[in-house]
Amino acid sequence: MRDAYIVTAIRTPGCRRNKGALADTRPEALLSFILDKAVSMTNGLAKKDVEDIMVGCSFPEAEQGLNVGRICSQIAGFPKETTGATVNRFCASGLEAIVEASMRVMVGFSECTIGAGLESMTFVPMGGNLPRPYPDWTKNHPDMYVSMGITAENVATRYNVSRQDQDEFAYQSHMKAAVARDNGKFIEVIPTPATKFVEQADGTFKKETFIQSVDDGIRDTTTIEGLASLRPVFSATGSVTAGNSSQTTDGAAASIIMSGDMVKKLGVKPLARLVSYATVGCEPDEMGIGPALAIPKALAKAGLKVEDIGLYEINEAFASQALYCMRELGLDKPGQVEKINIHGGAIALGHPLGCTGAKLAATLLNNMRTKGVKYGVESMCIGGGMGAAAVFELVE
């Protein structure tokens, strides 16, 4: 089987749902922009060279519906011959899209593809616009549809993750993200055109455009005391708060994937190659433990151990589940904990659901290149009771 090389991996800023800089920017605009930019940043690549585009989206409906993967490829100016599809593995959708796009290259179906992710949680809310759980199933299995916040409470309670530890973890996420932002470490972020509707003196609204360059959910004024003062959100006696949970966010990300032959033809320098990918299932009411199960499976497929990995991006859906997974894997110890989410995670930077897997890949791969790290792992828990993890190897 051939290698699949990721040669470009970029993302838009992640901005807060409803209140953030991208709240008035339609998701199609975000995705078509980042697809166009990914191609233009790749030396020698033309849009006609891209054969297929896989787009992860957790709620592919309304503005994100009607196969947004195909629609946005056309908006972005790809020729009609370039195909597109929309992939849904909920929180891992963006990573699933990258893997499926890579598989097409690995088995010889394509020479060049794109794996991308998209979610505007402003335009399409959590759960979608018209959720309809299956009544007969929910009578005995309501856990399949339970709030993700409740699953985070379950993890905290069952595995003794304290409120203090969750708040400390959240604080560190914001502090790391603020330092990275202020020192230009988010090299994968592309300044992105955005729109806003500004009220005029006569009461009408005018559409204006501007460039958004940074993630706008980072709170560098966060304090432990402030986090400790927040009330639990999902249980009156719980420990999961808005402060130690991921932010709901808008954003898009894309990775260009090529065969070895295409890499040589264009003379481009790849970032990394996909080594292995694994998904696992777990109890839906504690879905947050997914990475603790998926990472060992992905490492075993790659013939690697936890100690072999130089950087991890483990999605911070909730501090409780991220802490549990780190502890279970032995990543909370000195020498290992420094490898986790080095520039902060979703608590500070946001979790744009279907985009997250592609977003974290862009962050991880660029950090691997900057730091000269040979192996990196990306992982996340998945609503409904799953986990996913991928291992990437830096191309020297």
Kindly provide the residue ranges of all beta strands, DSSP E only, lying in 269-320, ordered along the sequence.
Answer: 272-281, 311-314
Which one is catalytic: 15, 57, 91, 112? 91
Which one is catalytic: 15, 57, 325, 381? 381
Instruction: For 200-261, give the DSSP string.
Output: -TTS-EEEEEEEE-S-S---TT--HHHHHTSPPSS-TT----STTBPPPEEEEEEEEEE-HH
Which one is catalytic: 57, 72, 282, 351? 351
Residues of the chain with pLDDT under 70: none
In angstroms, rounded to a whole number, what is the distance separating the alpha carbons of residues 315 and 386? 13
Residues 6+ apart with CB under 8 A from 243: 167, 170, 222, 226, 227, 230, 347
Asked if 381 is an active-site residue, the reply is yes
Given a contact cutoff of 8 angstroms between Cβ atoms, the answer to whether 24 and 196 are in contact is: yes
User: How many C-alpha atoms does 87 have within 13 Å on its Cβ side?
Assistant: 26
Asked if 141 is an active-site residue, the reply is no
Helix, strand, coil share of the chain (percent; to 5): 40, 25, 40
Q: Residue 396's pLDDT is what?
A: 86
Residues facing residue 56 across a β-bridge: 87, 117
Residue 53: alpha-carbon gap to chain centroid: 17
User: How many C-alpha atoms does 218 have within 13 Å on its Cβ side?
Assistant: 21
Given a contact cutoff of 8 angstroms between Cβ atoms, the answer to whether 37 and 240 are in contact is: no
**Rounded alpha-carbon distances, angstroms, from residue 67 to 57, 63, 71, 188, 357:** 10, 10, 6, 26, 19
For helices 319-329 and 148-158, angle between their N-to-C axes, nearest 10 degrees: 40
Q: Residue 245's pLDDT is what?
A: 98
What's the token pair of residue 180? 């990275």
Q: What is the pLDDT of residues 227-240, one digit of tens each?
A: 999 999 999 999 99
Asked if 174 is an active-site residue, the reply is no
Given a contact cutoff of 8 angstroms between Cβ atoms, the answer to whether 39 and 46 are in contact is: yes
Q: Residue 368's pLDDT is what?
A: 98
